[in-house]
Amino acid sequence: MSQTSKRMFVRIKNSRRRVQPIFLFKQENGRSIGVYEKNDVNSEFTIHLTLEKWEEDVQRQLTVDGTIFHVCEENEKSLSCYLHNELTEEDIDSQLVHLFNYLSDLFNNKTVAVWILPSQIATSPFLISNLQFESCQLLKIIYGGSFILSNEDVSRLLEIWKPTIAITIKCRVKENFGPRSILNLPQLYIFDARWLTFDDLLNMECETAFLRYHSFTEEDVKKFINHWMAGSNPKLMHLRLRGFKLEPNWEHILEGIEYGVWDEKEKKKRPRNFKDHHIYDFEEIDCQNGLDFERKSDGMIGTVMHQSDQIDFFVWHDIQF
């Protein structure tokens, strides 16, 4: 980076290498920023800014856009830089802003994906107001120990970052929690989903929804499938409900619905594997043991399956073929 000449910077910039949203991770003792090439998650490069006392391990200095970083560890996929403990919160965020603005300019990409601890929400005004990003595709609020997330916390983050594709909430939430606007995002991952109601399930616009620690029962699954058969949730591709350790009573859940097991001879109806596309990667799920049924109004195939402690409901849109 500091060794890159202006001529080389221009060459890299003009090559327009396709990269994923630049991800930012803000935690108590440091920051991280990383770049992934599209369609190749193994080509990532991450810079870690740490407040650990590694002065004796500093190997060299790195200058980026006039800002000096003290490199204490590096390899082909990552770089760790030491930050002085005496730096203020604003100073630390300023370092991250410099790195983001440099990388976004270099790779012609001003989209971000943000990981943040709930406790860091109130300490990020400088980062938020100085980061020159155009859109945020993913907002991930990670586990924050004893911190309990409130409606006000989430509303503030949504107003600031305005995620366009996905939100992940992996921390505990307050009893009156319920920011319904996130149900309009294409991808939803909720660790503490007890605040969600059955009406929320029916009204959500999500394509993918993974819910854990919810209050839904097998009876709710039965009702939801029947509503889907009648035309609800037209955008849904994958609903995952954790917390079902025992094999569900499919005969009861699918009562009144004609269903059957997957037949390899009928691949035209749906393939064996389902692909979940996330921001940085995709998950391929073997649905050989799923139970299939057809929505008569449009011929759409739905599949339910139990594995581990979860019920999966898949909808086979054209993208899967």
Q: Which two tokens stand for residue 133?
A: 């990003």
pLDDT at 80: 77
pLDDT at 67: 62
pLDDT at 221: 98
What digits encode the pLDDT tens for the residues 64-73? 666 666 666 6
pLDDT at 3: 47
Cα-based torsion angle of the residue sequence 95, 121, 168, 25 in order, rounded to the nearest 10 degrees: 20
CA dist., res. 216 & res. 198, Å (int): 8
What digits encode the pLDDT tens for the residues 9-49? 455 555 556 668 898 998 877 788 888 876 665 677 788 88
What digits encode the pLDDT tens for the residues 195-224? 999 999 999 999 999 999 999 999 999 999
The residue behind tokens 């269903």 is 259
Exposure letters 203-212 (e unless 16+ CB within 10 A, then b): ebebbbbbbb
CA dist., res. 34 & res. 158, Å (int): 22
Pairing of strands 135-141, 78-82: unpaired
Kindly give the parts of the chain with pLDDT less than 50: 1-4, 9
Q: Please report, for residues 29, 133, 149, 153, the alpha-carbon distance to residue 117 in angstroms, rounded to integers and kept in the order given.
A: 11, 20, 10, 11
Angle between helices 6-15 and 89-106 (to 10 degrees): 70
pTM of the model: 0.87
Q: Which two tokens stand for residue 171?
A: 């921390």
Nearest residue to 210 (alpha-carbon basis) of 272, 270, 166: 166
